[in-house]
């Protein structure tokens, strides 16, 4: 991790904090962790007040790096940075929408369902805090349009397939019937033609 605490302190305390914060978010999806609750988790994990302040700086740096990665078209690294930012501040609507946007872009690049679902979840969580967040509203709308488009394409394919089968069902008997009519007529025509007669007379030839 890029986060640096006071000399003599171990990274396992920060990891313990992040782990517990993430576990609570996963376990209690309907509840939003406040800054005070997260601070309590951090102090229980062994972090100090000064460490908590440093976490605030780390949060700011990760958010900036995430935005810069997105500007450079690097959605994968952007997701890594802003996901940690979400763990540090799940109560921040701007960070939730930024992380959702990173997942949305990553989904467009990779078509990974996991990123699509995560983007939708983050956008919805963001709108619970700030109903007017433009990034979340735009991103969620784009996801829903994409879903409707996929459903429409599937229906079109099914309709075309059904039409093809119906057409085949009507055409096949006609072809078979036509072949039956053509077959005998050809045979009859061939049979009705008279072959040239080969003369067996001996006129003009000595006996």
The mean per-residue pLDDT over the stretch 113-135 comes to 95
What distance, in Å, lies between the first and last C-alpha atoms of the chain?
Answer: 121
Q: Which two tokens stand for residue 144?
A: 């829903």
Three-point CA angle 124, 96, 35, nearest 5°: 110
**For 122-143, what is the mean pLDDT?**
96
Higher pLDDT among residues 190 and 28, named by residue: 28
Residue 69 has pLDDT above 60, yes or no: yes
131: confidence class by pLDDT, cuts 50, 70, 90: very high
206 has a pLDDT exceeding 70: no
Torsion of Cα atoms, 54 then 50 then 126 then 149, to 10°: 30
Instruction: Say if residue 2's pLDDT is above 60.
Output: no
Between residues 19 and 7, the one the model is more confident about: 19
Query: pLDDT category, 147, cuts 50, 70, 90?
Result: confident
Residue 202 pLDDT grade (very low, low, confident, very high; cuts 50, 70, 90): very low
Alpha helix segments (H runs only) across the chain: 11-27, 35-44, 49-71, 75-88, 93-110, 113-129, 134-192
Q: What pLDDT is attached to residue 93?
A: 95
pLDDT of residue 173: 59
The vertex-187 CA angle with 183 and 192, nearest 5°, equals 145
Report how far residue 40's alpha carbon sits from residue 23's, in angstroms, rounded to the nearest whole number.
15
* CA-based torsion, 85, 88, 92, 96: positive or negative: positive
Residue 195, pLDDT score:
47
Q: Write down the pLDDT at residue 96.
A: 96
- What is the per-residue pLDDT across 161-183, written as a single tens digit (0 to 9) for each? 544 554 555 555 555 555 555 55
Cβ neighbour number for residue 31 with a 10 Å cutoff:
11
- Mean pLDDT rounded to a whole number for the chain: 76
pLDDT given for residue 13 in this prediction:
72
Instruction: From residue 132, give the alpha-carbon distance in Å to each of 10, 37, 66, 94, 148.
Output: 41, 25, 22, 11, 23
């Amino acid at each position: 991790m890029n986060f640096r605490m006071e000399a003599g302190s171990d990274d396992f305390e920060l990891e313990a904090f992040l782990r517990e914060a993430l576990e609570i978010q996963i376990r209690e999806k309907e509840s939003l962790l406040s800054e005070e609750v997260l601070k309590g988790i951090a102090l229980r994990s062994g972090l100090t007040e000064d460490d908590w302040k440093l976490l605030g700086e780390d949060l700011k740096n990760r958010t900036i790096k995430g935005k810069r990665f997105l500007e450079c078209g690097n959605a994968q690294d952007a997701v890594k940075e802003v996901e940690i930012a979400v763990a540090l501040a799940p109560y921040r609507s701007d960070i939730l929408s930024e992380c959702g946007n990173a997942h949305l872009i990553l989904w467009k690049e990779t078509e990974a369902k996991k990123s699509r679902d995560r983007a939708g979840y983050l956008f919805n969580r963001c709108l619970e805090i700030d109903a007017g967040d433009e990034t979340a509203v735009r991103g969620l709308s784009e996801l829903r349009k994409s879903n409707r488009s996929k459903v429409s394409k599937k229906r079109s394919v099914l309709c075309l397939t059904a039409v093809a089968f119906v057409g085949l069902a009507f055409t096949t008997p006609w072809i078979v019937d036509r072949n039956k009519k053509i077959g005998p007529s050809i045979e009859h025509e061939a049979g009705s033609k008279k072959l040239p007669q080969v003369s067996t007379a001996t006129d003009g030839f000595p006996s």
